[in-house]
Structure 1
């Protein structure tokens, strides 16, 4: 759904002040000549785009260090705005001060709370320096320039230093060198034409499930059975107290084929479903389908750290398998009870044969050894088959 080449040059709303990272993201996507509209809060960005005060909005939704930017995502979901693209920007935090100020003389450093959370090591090494949260990184830089106090600094970008006449005392203060933020480019749905076929499509799916065991698993299986990958899944507060909606990014176009079939099944088992997209994934963030050894990794992360992270991911998969196995056993007991209720109690050999045959077909499709997979499923079926009363 890219409208990146539209003319005349649009104006883009973003949260923060001129020189903020969101401002830079807008210029990355639309070009340096774009007009940008600073907004105080994320909801103000969504409101500006909805009312026509801006043609597009730039919303940060995820950071590699701080994680999800929940308020920005909530601001999007409160509207009917469409996602037309995403931008990934490296975040390089600099220590900005008045000309002539020194690090030894600093008592306070201001920045956005997310930026402060990305520079914890810097503050840990300076326990006497106070971190002060303000509404924006560039706004912190402007305040330093306006206050004129050499004991006050800001964490912001080098662009903000140039804009507000400050000195860069230190660069790259973020806890990891690969610190990056992902932004959604949003616009009213009536500005979006039919999206062409996308080389690397993504779709945002927001759904609510019933409050019952296995409800979330049903939705996830609807995607998994069709080979649809979820690159992101999180929960956000629902519209009623103590209710939640799940936000999933699916790395697929859900308008046809397996994507459309998966989405249709999701609609049958979820209470509500909202879809935004498809939109093109930011170039370079989705590695091609190749072996794990070929997938690029950050150079500054030691191999043993990467190994530990990989093993933790394997542990997460193992835990998910156990949970799924428990749910399968529960469903098998329920199926057995229903067969007894219908007067057809006992084991259904035909059903077991179909399960094993289907497991082999899925294994072949995924390039897995059919015989070994069927053997695993035979053991799973045996484990989940309720013992007969004697």
Structure 2
């Protein structure tokens, strides 16, 4: 039986690319046009695991996804970094001067803004997914409309690339996480990264104390993101990624932080993809 992998988007999207890179070609893709729908599939066991974009090297964190993971009790079991390549594509035979409208995911539009500003006649329209936009252009035979999507989407949906590699920064990359309903236990010697969520009290220096404990335990802080706690005005939760060389250092840090903090949750323990 094939592994069912839920993605935000459809075949030809960056999420599809990550799913095949991480799990191989022999998977059953569960296509979802929102992250909420993807979560629903995982919780209902109609998908075994999910692939979720969490941050981009240009545009920063996809903040709502942090809350989705925590609120639904999901676990991060892995990560994957993907170099992002954006291409302008349309029905065959159209020059860029004939294109009137460009549709894509808001993140893709943002990442190609320098190119788009060079063509002020183009109307920019946000859509749910890069590859879905490409598919709609082909299915509905939309003349004068272009999509920004990965190269594979042009191949899948028989579109012509009008302008290749239009992303503003060429070494643009997105970090994706692999999520699961139950935690996956790796051997301790293979775990060298963790994602945490915690809240502190309102005492001055509370966050600094937490960061000092992490440093004293030889944890390397690679990401910190604060989000409001919706139920409590002016209170914030912190989402943190840490790396470590020795799992015992992480164990020591966990035992101290559990005592110090009002709330402390380990969202995932997994292998650092940058060291793979």
Contact 1:42 1:71 survives alignment (8 Å): no
1:95 positional shift: 0.6
Counterpart of 1:147 in structure 2 is: 140
1:134 positional shift: 0.5
Deviations 1:231-261 (Å, cap 9, x if unpaired)? 100112314233221000010378x522222
> SS of 1:174's equivalent?
coil
Q: What does residue range 37-116 of structure 1 map to in structure 2 within 5 Å? A: 37-116=30-109
Counterpart of 1:35 in structure 2 is: 28
1:80 and 1:71, CA in 2 relative to 1: closer, same or farther beyond 3 A? same
- Partners of 1:9 and 1:69 lie apart in 2 by 29
- Partners of 1:159 and 1:200 lie apart in 2 by 33
Aligned to 2:172, which of 172, 175, 179? 179
Higher strand share: 2
Counterpart of 2:197 in structure 1 is: 206
Q: What does residue range 161-180 of structure 1 map to in structure 2 within 5 Å? A: 161-180=154-173
Instruction: Point out the more displaced range, 88-97 or 259-268.
Output: 259-268
Counterpart of 2:238 in structure 1 is: 246
1:73 positional shift: 2.3
Runs of 4+ in 1 over 6 A off after TM superposition: none
1:89 positional shift: 1.1
1:92 and 1:198, CA in 2 relative to 1: closer, same or farther beyond 3 A? farther
Bigger Rg, which one: 1
- Partners of 2:244 and 2:181 lie apart in 1 by 22
Deviations 1:329-371 (Å, cap 9, x if unpaired)? xxxxxxxxxxxxxxxxxxxxxxxxxxxxxxxxxxxxxxxxxxx
Aligned to 2:264, which of 254, 273, 285? 273
Higher relative contact order (CA 8 A, sep 6+): 2
Contact 1:43 1:72 survives alignment (8 Å): no
Count of aligned positions: 275
- Partners of 1:242 and 1:146 lie apart in 2 by 48
- Partners of 1:106 and 1:242 lie apart in 2 by 46
Contact 2:219 2:242 survives alignment (8 Å): yes
Q: What does residue range 302-321 of structure 1 map to in structure 2 within 5 Å? A: none
1:286 positional shift: 4.4
- Partners of 1:105 and 1:211 lie apart in 2 by 58
Deviations 1:291-326 (Å, cap 9, x if unpaired)? xxxxxxxxxxxxxxxxxxxxxxxxxxxxxxxxxxxx
Deviations 1:270-306 (Å, cap 9, x if unpaired)? 1100102210111xx249xxxxxxxxxxxxxxxxxxx
Counterpart of 1:224 in structure 2 is: 215
> SS of 2:186's equivalent?
coil
